[in-house]
């Protein structure tokens, strides 16, 4: 009998010895868009990179949740570990972030990405800590454009009286009020039913979001207003990161940088092909928008933002140029 027991005993001992090495830590990461989207690209890159660097000691569980405010609250209380979210609702938690939601603040993608990767963006991420959150790295949602089911929009007068869904964001709501629209804040999860039922006439989102969520099925007109750049951010629960060793936190930051690259590359690709795709799906696209008229109509709102937000920071962002540029 003992001769048969010995291999079983050795096998049991071996399994005990390898068990600690196989112990895994699950990290839950939620975002609001389909897996085949710019958020999905970032989340997948983070997952693949972190799992590879830690030999699968960390496993990332990607989940979809259409309610960004709810996700941020869940990260704050620790029921999920991390979220990729637009800055739309973030200002309700970290007021300083409202500064980057001001319309026509960024000239183009190079300007926006450069600012957020500079000491300006890092300073804003530091503002998350006192709020019980960790702002890990800036990602992006993209420049926002206006869609609606009523008419072509070329100038501010075309927006007057239009019910436009906005994010739950005071800066965006104030801007649309200044244009004479009727801003209607709601979670993204409520958007499609609201468009279908006529609760709102239009909405505003970056091209990648419009494409990924097939908003062409409930909206007829797209105007390339590029009225505001919409950053995104990877936010995590402090305890999640504090439980990691210094080496694992370094791996996590490397994974976050991989997420940033994948996310931005996907936004760039979708921007390049998305308008033609939406035309193919039947949308009427207005490319000639009177940007100067929109900026002039927003002058009262801009003056208010200078007073109620951080005017000096807004000027630093507008004036930013790359080193040697």
What are 267-302's pLDDT values in tens digits? 999 989 999 999 999 999 999 999 999 999 999 999
| pLDDT number for residue 324 | 72
What is the mean predicted confidence (pLDDT) over 256-270?
Answer: 97
pLDDT at 22: 54
**Burial of 230 by CB count in 10 Å (0-12 exposed, 13-18 middle, 19+ buried)?**
buried
Residue 86 and residue 233: Cα distance in Å, rounded? 6
Q: At what angle do helices 311-319 and 119-126 cross, to 10 degrees?
A: 150
**Domains of the chain, each with CATH number or no CATH:** 25-319 (3.40.190.170)
Beta bridge partners, 231, equal: 140
Q: Is the pLDDT score of 38 beyond 50?
A: yes
Distance CA 249, CA 259 (A): 15
Q: In this predicted structure, what is the pLDDT of residue 16?
A: 42
In tens, the pLDDT along 108-161 reads 999 999 999 999 999 999 999 999 999 999 999 999 999 999 999 999 999 999
The neighbouring-strand residues paired with 29 are 62, 82
Per-residue pLDDT at 325: 62
Measure CA of the first residue to CA of the last residue in the chain; give whole Å. Answer: 81
Of the pLDDT bands very low, low, confident and very high (cuts 50, 70, 90), residue 323 is: confident
pLDDT of residue 15: 44
CA distances from 9 to 12, 109, 115 (A): 5, 62, 61
Q: Is the pLDDT of residue 40 over 90?
A: yes
Q: Which two tokens stand for residue 62?
A: 């990607």
Question: How many C-beta neighbours within 10 Å does residue 195 have?
Answer: 21
Q: What is the pLDDT of residues 48-106, one digit of tens each?
A: 999 999 999 999 999 999 999 999 999 999 999 999 999 999 999 999 999 999 999 99
CB-side neighbour CA atoms (13 Å) of 132: 8
d(CA 2, CA 314) in angstroms, rounded, equals: 79
Cα-trace Rg, the chain = 23
Q: Please give the C-alpha separations between residue 152 and each of 166, 223, 224, 239, 284, in angstroms, as whole numbers.
A: 19, 7, 11, 49, 8
Confidence of residue 168 (pLDDT cuts 50, 70, 90): confident
**14 or 176, which is more confident:** 176
> What is the distance between the alpha carbons of residues 34 and 62, in angstroms, rounded to a whole number?
11
What is the mean pLDDT of the segment spanning 261-272?
A: 95
For the segment 204-248, what is each residue's pLDDT rounded down to a tens digit? 999 999 999 999 999 999 999 999 999 999 999 999 999 999 999
Which pair of structure tokens corresponds to residue 181? 């629209």
């Amino acid at each position: 009998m003992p001769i048969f027991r010995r291999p079983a005993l050795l096998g049991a001992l071996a399994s005990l010895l390898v068990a600690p090495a196989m112990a895994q830590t699950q990290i839950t990461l939620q975002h609001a868009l389909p897996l085949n989207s710019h958020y999905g690209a970032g989340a997948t890159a983070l997952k693949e990179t972190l799992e590879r660097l830690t030999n699968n000691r960390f496993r990332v569980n990607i989940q979809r949740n259409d309610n960004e405010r709810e996700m941020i609250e869940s990260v704050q209380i620790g029921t999920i570990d991390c979220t990729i979210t637009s800055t739309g609702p973030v200002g309700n938690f970290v007021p300083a972030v409202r500064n980057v939601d001001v319309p026509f603040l960024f000239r183009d993608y190079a300007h926006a990405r450069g600012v957020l990767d500079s000491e300006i963006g890092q300073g804003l991420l530091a503002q998350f800590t006192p709020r019980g959150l960790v702002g890990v790295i800036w990602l992006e949602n993209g420049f926002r454009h206006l869609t609606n089911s009523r008419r072509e929009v070329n100038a501010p007068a075309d927006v007057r009286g239009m019910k436009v869904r906005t994010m739950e964001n005071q800066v965006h709501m104030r801007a649309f009020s200044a244009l004479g629209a009727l801003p209607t804040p709601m979670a993204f999860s409520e958007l499609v039913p609201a468009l279908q039922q006529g609760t709102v006439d239009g909405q505003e989102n970056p091209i990648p979001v419009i494409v990924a969520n097939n908003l062409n099925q409930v909206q007829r007109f797209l105007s390339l207003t590029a009225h505001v750049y919409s950053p995104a951010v990877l936010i995590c629960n402090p305890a999640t990161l504090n439980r990691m060793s210094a080496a694992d936190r370094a791996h996590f930051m490397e994974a976050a940088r991989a997420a940033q690259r994948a996310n931005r590359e996907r936004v760039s690709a979708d921007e390049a092909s998305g308008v033609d795709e939406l035309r193919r799906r039947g949308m009427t696209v207005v490319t000639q928008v009177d940007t100067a008229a929109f900026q002039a109509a927003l002058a009262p709102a801009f003056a208010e933002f200078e007073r109620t937000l951080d005017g000096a920071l807004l000027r630093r962002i507008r004036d930013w140029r790359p080193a040697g540029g």
